[in-house]
Amino acid sequence: MKETLVFISLAVVLSYASSPVGAASSLPTRTQADAKLAEFARIKKEQAQETALKRAPGNIESAELEREHGRLVYSFDIRNAKGTIDEVQVSAINGRIVRVEHESKRQEAAEKAKERRSKKH
C-alpha cells in the first residue's frame, strides 16, 4: 500500500512538472527577468539610448537590458551609415559607455544564425 501511494504521488508530481502549466509557473519568463533587472537600473533606457546614439549615430535595430561581464548594461545594436552594426553598451548604473564593438557583415550573419537556432530550442 505504501509503495502504491508513493508511486501515485510521484506520477502526479511528474505529470504536473512536465505540463505546460507546471513548467511555465516554475521558470521565470524573459519579461519577468527583464523586469527584475530593471529594478536595479538607475539610468532610464531613453537616457542610455541617447548616449549610445551620440557615440555611434544610426538606427537602433535592437535594445536590451542585460548583465554582461558582471555589469548591468543596456546593449544597443545600431546600424550605421555604412550598413554595418555597432554594438554599444551603456552602464545602467552610471550612464557611461562600457564598450563599443563594430560587427562585420560576417559577424552579424553569424550572430543572426545563432539567435535563430536559440529561438528554435
pLDDT by residue for the chain (121 residues), tens only, comes to 445 444 454 444 445 444 444 444 455 565 676 677 888 899 999 999 999 999 999 999 999 999 999 999 999 999 999 889 999 999 999 999 999 999 887 887 888 888 888 877 6
Every domain of the chain with CATH number 3.10.450.40 lies at 40-120
CATH 3.10.450.40 fits 40-120, yes or no: yes
CB 88 within 8 A of CB 73: no
Q: Is the pTM of this model over 0.75?
A: no
CA distance 45 to 96: 13
| Burial class of 28 by CB neighbour count within 10 A (0 to 12, 13 to 18, 19+) | exposed
